[in-house]
Amino acid sequence: MTETVFRAFLPELVDIRRRLHQMPETGYEERQTSAFVADLLSGWGLEVTRDLAATGLVATLDRGGDGRAIGLRADMDGLPIVEETGAAYASRTPGMMHACGHDGHTTILIGAAFRLLHDDDFRGRVHFIFQPAEETAGGAARMIGDGLFERFPCDAVFALHNYPGLAAGRFSARPGAMMAAIDAATLTVRGAGGHGARPEDTVDPVVAAASIVMALQTAVSRNVPPQEAGVITVGAFHAGSACNVIPDEAVLEVSLRATDPAVRTRLCRRFEEIVRLQAASYGAEARIDWQVGYPVTMNDAASVELAAAVIRDTFGDDAFAPLDRPMMGSEDFAFMLEKVKGAYLFLGNGDSAGLHSSRYDFNDALLERGPAFLHALARRFFA
């Protein structure tokens, strides 16, 4: 395929990205997005399988080859954020926007499919995986549970995520831990409420919960080796409704992150011990309701080496910047990397607003380099 063909298609690819930006949908609600992508790719002649994990889909390009297959994944979901970009193509869905660039990721994968379709010399099998519900609901795990890799076996999987603050068009990754695991918990501290003037007749859940918050500040500093990384954040504390009433319960929302599976296990265990014993010391009871956690995003070293070589050969040595340490954010592509070797890479979004900001927008300049990288990666994988 000549670059001329793709360059002629680029304005349409930008239009596709901006159309997707206007119709953000949250996890497992990506019906319009999924239908749009499926109709487009099936219209190009790709074999499309719909309804994996409710709204996910896989499009397959099979050009023979040596029997191996590569998986290329993009996430599709938006976020419940009111957009404040002022863009002409801003979200048309009240209270929702693409604040993490998943509209761009989806469009990059569409662009990669276009390039590979128009490459008459390409030989190999590519599964283009369009995943729902990355943000909070573990769509990758659900796709796997629906038989993703049994129905579409892959010998390696790769994914990109835009990264504000990294120079536009520059790639970055590291072998081993790339992003942290996350576990989330709702902690309910149950006491016995009463009049604020008679605390001796109550079991005050506010005081017990406050003690838990403070005790958790030592969970990392006194349980995780200084060479490792861990974070526990109490992001919400809900209790009471009046200054003269001691409530019956307090509710905390907590997240735990670690870049090593063993540290993750240790932090979760220590969290449960601290919560239980601190609550008991005040005569209160504590219940922990765990939400779906994401494992450590663990890159295969050989896959990172392959991707870096492709980037340097295609765009120059400066186009790849090794990541020196794992990021503490989390990513459910980790579930796929637990099943199949591969790599997760950042692609610089330039000097933009940060991810999950109401002023964030995906950099359309990446719609040239992103598809070109995935195209070159697929060719090199089967070389």
Q: How many whole angstroms separate alpha carbon 246 and alpha carbon 198? A: 9
3-class SS string, 161-173: EEEECCCCCCEEE
Strand, coil or helix: 128: strand
**Structure token digits, residue 288:** 């922990």
Token pair recorded at residue 175: 């072998």
Contact 182, 294 (CB under 8 A): yes
* pLDDT value of position 137: 80
What are the structure tokens assigned to 138, written together?
């573990």
How many C-beta neighbours within 10 Å does residue 324 have? 7
181-293 domain in CATH 3.30.70.360? yes
φ, ψ at 69 (rounded to 5°): -145, 150
With 0-12 / 13-18 / 19 or more C-beta atoms within 10 angstroms meaning exposed / middle / buried, residue 140 is: buried
| Geometric angle at alpha carbon 333, from 70 and 356, rounded to 5° | 130
Q: Tell me the domain boundaries of the chain.
A: 1-179+296-382, 181-293
Q: Which residues of the chain have pLDDT under 50?
A: none
Annotated ligand binding at 228? The verdict is no
According to the annotation, is 243 in a ligand binding site?
A: no
Tell me how crowded residue 329 is: count the other CB atoms within 10 A of its CB.
16
Rg (the chain; Cα; Å) = 23
Angstrom distance (rounded) from CA 92 to CA 19: 10
Q: What is the structure's pLDDT at 36?
A: 98
Whether 268 has a binding-site annotation, put simply, is: no
* CA–CA distance, 173 with 154 (Å, rounded to integer): 21
pLDDT digits (tens, 9 = 90+) for 259-309: 999 999 999 999 999 999 999 999 999 999 998 789 999 999 999 999 999
CB 157 within 8 A of CB 129: yes
Residue 13 C-beta-side C-alpha neighbours within 13 Å: 28
- For residue 124, give Cα distances in angstroms to 57, 72, 107, 379: 20, 13, 22, 8
Cα separation of 49 and 38, whole Å? 8
Which residue reads 């509209």 in tokens?
103
Exposure b/e, 74-112, CB count within 10 A at least 16 = b: bbbbbbebebebeeebbbebeebbbbbbbbbbbbbbbbb
Quote the CA–CA distance of 208 and 279 in Å, as a whole number.
6
Write phi, then psi, for 64 (nearest 5 degrees): 75, -130
Q: Coil, helix or strand for 205?
A: helix
Q: Phi and psi (nearest 5°) for 289?
A: -110, 110
Residues pairing with 185 in the sheet: 254, 290
Q: For 311-320, how does the pLDDT look when each residue is reduced to its tens digit (9 = 90+)?
A: 999 999 999 9
Q: Which of 280, 306, 275 is nearest to 290 (CA)?
A: 275
What is the C-alpha to C-alpha distance for residues 168 and 149, in angstroms, rounded to an integer?
33
Q: Which superfamily, per CATH, for 1-179+296-382?
A: Zn peptidases (3.40.630.10)
Angle formed at CA 340 by CA 339 and CA 343, multiple of 5 degrees: 120
Give the integer Cα–Cα distance in Å for 256 and 232: 5
Please state, in angstroms and as integers, the Cα–Cα distance from residue 66 to each residue in 52, 63, 124, 151, 155, following that order.
27, 10, 7, 18, 12
pLDDT number for residue 1:
56
Residue type, 48: V
Amino acid identity at 299? N
pLDDT score of 136: 80
pLDDT of residue 292: 72
Structure tokens at 135: 């943000």
